[in-house]
Amino acid sequence: MSYNVALIPGDGIGPEIVEQAVQVLDTAGKKFGFTLNYTKLLMGGASIDVHGIPLTDETIETAKKNDAVLMGSIGGDAKTSPWYKLEPSRRPEAGLLKLRKSLNLFANLRPAYLYKELKDACPLRDEIIGDGFDMMIMRELTGGLYFGERKTVEENGVKKAIDTLTYDENEIRRIAKRGFDIAMKRRKKVTSVDKANVLDSSRLWRSVVEEVAKDYPEVTLEHMLVDNCAMQLVRDPKQFDVILTENMFGDILSDEASMVTGSIGMLSSASLNETSFGLYEPSHGSAPDIAGKDIANPIATILSAAMMLRFSLNLDEAADAIENAVSQVLKDGYRTGDIMSEGCTKVGCKEMGRLIAERV
C-alpha cells in the first residue's frame, strides 16, 4: 500500500519535530507493509522568505492532491521577526487560516489525555486527577469570529475595531454530527460549550446541537457555558468525554486542556474535512527560542502522525503501535525537558524520536 503525504515543516522547531515524526512513520511502514510518499511544502514564515506570502495557491493545489497533510508549526517571535512587520494578511498565521479554509477543514480534533507516567507534570492536585482523564475537544474550525468580516474605522476622531461572529445552521450541524459520531466511539457523552446567555450565535448553536442529538439517543448531551467549562477543566477534568464548541472557544479551551495534561508538547491535533482528508499538527506553537537546539518535544507531532494513519489512511494497527511506543518510552523513564521529572532520563528531540521508532 502506498499513500501520498504533504509535509509542511514550517517554522521554528517545526522542521525538527516533523523529521522525528517521519522517522517513526517510516518505521511503522516497514513493519506494517505500507509506504508513504512525501512532498515538502512551504507555509508560514518559510514561505514568506521565499515567495513573500505565507501560502501560495500552488501549495494549496499540491496539498489537495495528497491523502493527508502533516505539519510542524508556523510563526516566529512577534517582537523580533520581520514577518510581523507585514500587514496581518501576509503574516505566517494567515497562511494557516487560509489553508484550513481552502481545504474545508471544518472539524478540529484535539485529544487531551493524561499519561500515568506524566502525573507529576500535571499542575492539578492528586485528588483532582484521580485515575486520570481522557477527553476529545471538537472545535469548529472555519467559521465564527476568526473568519467573520472585520475592519478598523475612525469615527469622530476615535478608532474603532469591528470583528463579526457569524454561524449558520449548516456549519453548526456538520461539526455537531462529527462530534456525536466521535462520542459514539468513546464514552457516549457530549458537552456542548457556548455562551447562550449572551450571544445569538450561541443560542443558534445550542438549538442546532439539540436537533442533532435526537439522532443519537445513546449519547448523553449536556450544555455548558464557556466560562464554566474553563473552570471545570481544572476543577474536575474527568467529567468530560467530548467537548463540542465553536472556533474561538475551542482555541482557548484546548490550550487550557493541554496544560492540564502536563505539557502542550504532548497534544496532537487533527483537522478534517467531509472526506477522509485531514491536516495533522501538534497543538503547540513554533517555539523559536528553542529552535535548532535539539530540545523540543516531538511527541505531539508523532501522535499527530498516528492520528493521520488512523483517520485519513485507515491504518489503525500502525496507529496503535505508534501510540503504544510513546507510552512505552514514557514508562521506560525517558523525558524531554518540558516533561522532565526526578528519576527520569532527559533526552533531546532526536533521541526521543529514535527511542519511539525503536519501540514501534
Give the residue numbers of the binding site: 100, 110, 139, 227, 251, 255, 285-297
pLDDT, tens digit, 9 for 90 and up, residues 141-184: 999 999 899 999 999 999 999 999 999 999 999 999 999 999 99
Containing H/E element for 174? helix 169-184
Residue 318 clears pLDDT 80, i.e. is over it: yes
Q: What is the CATH number of domain 114-266?
A: 3.40.718.10
Q: Which CATH architecture has domain 1-103+277-360?
A: 3-Layer(aba) Sandwich (3.40)
3-state secondary structure of 35: strand
Note the pLDDT of residue 312. 95
Note the pLDDT of residue 316. 94
Residue 262 clears pLDDT 80, i.e. is over it: no
Q: Which residues, 6 or more positions from 79, have their beta carbon under 8 angstroms from its beta carbon? A: none
How do strand 268-272 and strand 107-113 relate by DSSP bridges? antiparallel
Query: What is the mean pLDDT of the segment spanning 309-318?
Result: 95
Residue 308 clears pLDDT 80, i.e. is over it: yes
User: For residue 3, how many other CB atoms are within 10 A of its CB?
Assistant: 19
Which pTM does this prediction carry?
0.86
Give the residue numbers of the binding site for NAD(+): 285-297
Give the residue numbers of the binding site for Mg(2+): 227, 251, 255
Query: What is the mean pLDDT of the segment spanning 39-61?
Result: 97
Query: What is the mean pLDDT of the segment spanning 288-294?
Result: 95
Sorted by where each begins, the domain ranges of the chain are 1-103+277-360, 114-266
- Give the C-alpha separation, 280 to 306, whole Å: 9
Residue 265 clears pLDDT 90, i.e. is over it: no
The set of catalytic residues is 146, 195, 227, 251, 255
- Same fold: 1-103+277-360 with 114-266: yes
Note the pLDDT of residue 6. 98
Note the pLDDT of residue 347. 98
Residue 242 clears pLDDT 80, i.e. is over it: yes
Note the pLDDT of residue 130. 81
3-state secondary structure of 334: strand
